Amino acid sequence: MAQPYLHPLQVNPRTGEPFLRLPSPLDNFIITPPRLSDAPALMETLNDPRVYKTLESPPFPYLPTHAESWLDMITKESDAALEEAKKAYKEGASEPLGHVETCPVRYIREIKEDGSDVFVGEIAPHRCQYLDVKDQWEREELVRTNLRYAVGDPAIVWCFGDFVAGPYHGRGIMSGALKTIMAQWLIPRMGARLIRVEAFIGNVGSVRVFEKNGFVMEKTVQYEKVTNCGVTRLGLHVLLWHAEKAS
Ligand SMILES: CC(C)(COP(=O)(O)OP(=O)(O)OC[C@H]1O[C@@H](n2cnc3c(N)ncnc32)[C@H](O)[C@@H]1OP(=O)(O)O)[C@@H](O)C(=O)NCCC(=O)NCCS
C-alpha cells in the first residue's frame, strides 16, 4: 500500500483523494474529504425543506458565504486529519496505527458511469455536545469534561452530524454510510467505544438509521425550541451505542 498510515482508506489513483466505499449494493457511493467546489450542491441541499427542517445547527437560509466559510474550515480540518494520521504512524505510537481525533472523509458522493461524482450528503463524527441537557451549567461541564480526554481515550463520548440530499432519501444511503464510518474509521482509528446521538422528536428516519446500526434509545427529552428555519421542535430523542454491548 502506498500510504499505510491511511489504512483502511483507499486512494483514488487518478486524483490522490482518499475515500471509503459503502458496502454492496451501494458500492457506487463513496465518502471523501470535502472540496471547496461542493458549495453549490451544499447550498441546494441545505435550502431544501426535506433536509433543513430536521437539522439544528446550519444557518437558514443557507447562503453562499455560509457554504464558503464552512467548506474552507472543514477542508482544512480534513487536511489536518490526514497529516495527523501520518504523524500517528511515523511516531510509532503503541498502536500499529495510532489513534487520531478526526475523520478525514465526511462527504458522501455517488459515482456516475462516466467516473464523475455527485454530492449526496454528509456524515461527520465529533465529540458530543449534549444538546439535550437543558441546564446550561451542567451541559458546559459535560462538554468540558468530554473535551479534556486525550485523543483515542475510550472514555470520549462521540456524536454524529448527518444529512442526505432530498432526492437520495430512503435508499439506505445513510444506514450504509454510518456503518462504513463506524466500522472503518471511528472505531479502529479514533478508538470510539461510546457514541451518543440526538434526533428531533418525529425524525423517524434518523432514529431508524441509528437503530439499524446497533444504537439503543436511551431517553426522550421534551422542550420547545424554534430552530434557525423557524420550525418549532418539541424535543430530542437520545440514542446510545456501546462497543461492549454491540460486540
Ligand atoms: C434522516 C436521514 C439522514 C436518513 O437518511 P436516508 O439515507 O434517507 O436513510 P435510509 O434510507 O438509510 O433509511 C433507514 C431507515 O429509515 C427509514 N426511513 C428513512 N426515512 C424515513 C422517514 N422519513 N420516515 C420513516 N422511515 C424512514 C427507512 O425506511 C429505513 O428503514 P428500513 O430499512 O427498516 O426500511 C435523511 O432522511 C435526512 O438527511 N434527513 C434530513 C436531515 C436529518 O434529519 N439528519 C439527521 C439529523 S439527526
> Do residues 220 and 133 lie in contact, with contact meaning Cβ atoms separated by under 8 Å?
no
The set of cell numbers assigned to 101 is: 481525533
Share of residues in the chain with pLDDT > 90 (%) = 89
Q: Nearest C-alpha to atom 33 of ligand 1 is from which residue?
A: 172
The answer to whether residue 92 scores a pLDDT higher than 60 is: no
> Mean pLDDT, to the nearest integer, of 101-117?
96
Predicted pLDDT of residue 85: 87
User: What pLDDT is stored for residue 87 in this prediction?
Assistant: 83
* Mean pLDDT within 170-185: 98
pLDDT attached to residue 158: 98
The answer on pLDDT for 170 being more than 60 is yes
Tell me the three cell numbers of residue 18. 482518499
153-168 mean pLDDT: 98
What Rg value do the Cα atoms of the chain yield, rounded?
18
Assess whether pLDDT exceeds 80 at residue 178: yes
Q: Is 39 helix (H, G, I), strand (E, B) or coil?
A: helix
For residue 179 the three cell numbers come to 456503518
pLDDT score, position 112: 97
Give percent above pLDDT 70 in the chain: 96
Average pLDDT of the segment spanning 41-45? 98
Rounded CA-CA distance 59/27 in Å is 32
Res 45: pLDDT = 98
Ranges of each domain in the chain: 4-246
The model's confidence at residue 93, banded by pLDDT at 50, 70 and 90, is low
Give the pLDDT band (50/70/90) at residue 115. very high
Identify the residue whose C-alpha is closest to ligand 1 atom 2. Answer: 206
Of 44, 208, 210, the residue with max ligand 1 atoms within 8 A of its CB, to mutate for a pocket test, comes to 208
CA of 124 from ligand 1 middle (Å) equals 16
Query: Using an 8 Å Cβ cutoff, are 197 and 160 in contact?
Result: yes
Q: Which one is predicted more confidently, 110 or 7?
A: 110
- Give the model's confidence band at 94: pLDDT under 50 very low, under 70 low, under 90 confident, else very high: low
Closest CA to 7 of 98, 75, 74: 98
**Average pLDDT of the residues in 202-226:** 97
Kind of pairing, strands 216-226 and 232-242?
antiparallel
CATH class of 4-246: alpha beta
3 against 80, higher pLDDT: 80
Cα 125 from Cα 193, distance rounded (Å)? 13
| Backbone angles phi and psi of 88, in degrees to 5 | -60, -30
DSSP string of 76-97, one letter each residue = HHHHHHHHHHHHHHHTT-SSSS
pLDDT band at 245 (very low <50, low <70, confident <90, very high): confident
CA distances from 101 to 14, 144, 190, 215 (A): 28, 16, 6, 22
Which pLDDT value is given to residue 52? 97
Q: What value, to the nearest 5°, has the Cα angle with vertex 81 and ends 75 and 83?
A: 105
From 120, 206, 210, give the residue whose CB has the most ligand 1 atoms within 8 Å, as the site to mutate. Answer: 206
State residue 106's pLDDT score: 98
Q: From ligand 1's centre to the CA of 70, what distance in Å? A: 24
Backbone phi, psi, residue 176, to 5°:
-70, -35
